[in-house]
A and B are shown apart, each in its own frame.
Chain A
Amino acid sequence: MKHIDSFILLMLAGVASAVQAQDVPAAATAAAGSGGLENPAIAGDVPDAPAPRLPDGAPDLSGVWSGGGPIGDIGEGLLPGEEIVLLPEAQALMDSRLSADDPEANCLPTGVPRIAPYPWRIVQSPPYGKAEVLYFLFEGNIHSFRQIFMDGREHPEDPDPTWYGHSVGHWEGDTLVIDTVGFNELFWFDFLGHPHTSQLRTVERYTRLSYGTLENVTTVFDPGAYAKPFTIRHEARLRPGWDLMEYICNENNQDVEHLRGPPGL
């Protein structure tokens, strides 16, 4: 609950400072100037309209988004009835992890389905008409990108393990379905250090529910680490008018040497 309280405090702080331009106590865990992800000042900027469509009628997902995946605890996104059941070996690995070992804290990529607390942009190529490939361009954590092949190809037989795997996508109605395999075992699912193995496969289902909201329902299959698949749901928010900015995480990362103890929120 603590983080939820923080969000509320941040929201209040954001509104109050915007309206009254005076000091408001910030949440204890918020660095000065960090604002809040769900600041209503931003939400109010998004048109109250349905999802836009491309000339061929397909939903247009392009734009700058933030959120849409787990950051702190992947369990927070579980759909009702879903649960995360770690296999003993995976549990032991998770229990052995230290906060300072989190790849993201070390300026390495998030992998899938984790998301960095920075905006990201969906680019369709070609921009109009039937997409051959979609690019997800990430500002954080290291200016990395995903490419989603939409041209009907299959996964390679034996893909080299990578941070973002090999992704193929197709449309089911207005939902973009992305199937990804070929992951390495290096990234964590969240700050808590939920692990996975190279058997990981993710199926993401993206639906632009409205102009400003992109739903992501992801099912995680990893028989090497979890007793059964589980499904999480998140919403990404459109950030109209935002550009991606340079974010070279390694240029002055002083945090890792000061992280202490097991992972935490």
Chain B
Amino acid sequence: MRARFRGIGALFLLIAAGPAAAHHSFVTQYDADAPVTLKGIVTKVEWMNPHARFYIDVEDEDGQVVNWNLELASPNVLSRNGWTRHALKEGDAVTVEGSRARSGANMANARSVTLADGKQVFAR
């Protein structure tokens, strides 16, 4: 019986979601009341645990370029949701919405990531 359902399972895996919680408390690292929207160019993608991360160069109002560290779910959760390490790559222009780190660092939890053509990555 288990084998019969495995094929269906594989289909569902493409849209299936993984655990939402991280290995640490969200609220003590990020401030959901401190939203941030960032437009920039991807400089690096780290497809590593416990969280996948990507970094973007953002030009501020004074023309200074600041590098931001953006946290995603873990690669395991992203993979189970059908994403791969190729979904985002160095040089991509992105708009990121997220919550800023409480530490004050140029770091945020990325809630949505949109490419220049409007396509969303990590949207499920």
Contact = CB atoms under 8 A, between A and B. Distances in A.
Interface stretch (A27-35, A74-82, A125-133, A154-162): A27-35
Nearest to A7: B20
A33 B124 contact: yes
Interface in A99-148: 99-100, 102, 104-105, 107, 116-119, 139-141
Interface string B58-90: 000000000001011111111111010000000
B50 A47 contact: no
Contacts of A7: 20
A220 interface: no
A54 interface: no
Nearest to A67: B19
B25 A33 contact: no
A89 B5 CA distance: 51
Interface string A50-84: 00100000000000001100011000000000000
B116 interface: no
Contacts of B111: 26, 28, 30-32
A52 to B, nearest CB: 7
Given A35-B20, A118-B19, A29 B79 contact: no
A251 B50 CA distance: 7
Interface of A: 6-7, 10, 13-14, 17-18, 23-24, 26-37, 39, 41-42, 44-47, 49, 52, 66-67, 71-72, 99-100, 102, 104-105, 107, 116-119, 139-141, 191, 240-242, 245-249, 251-265
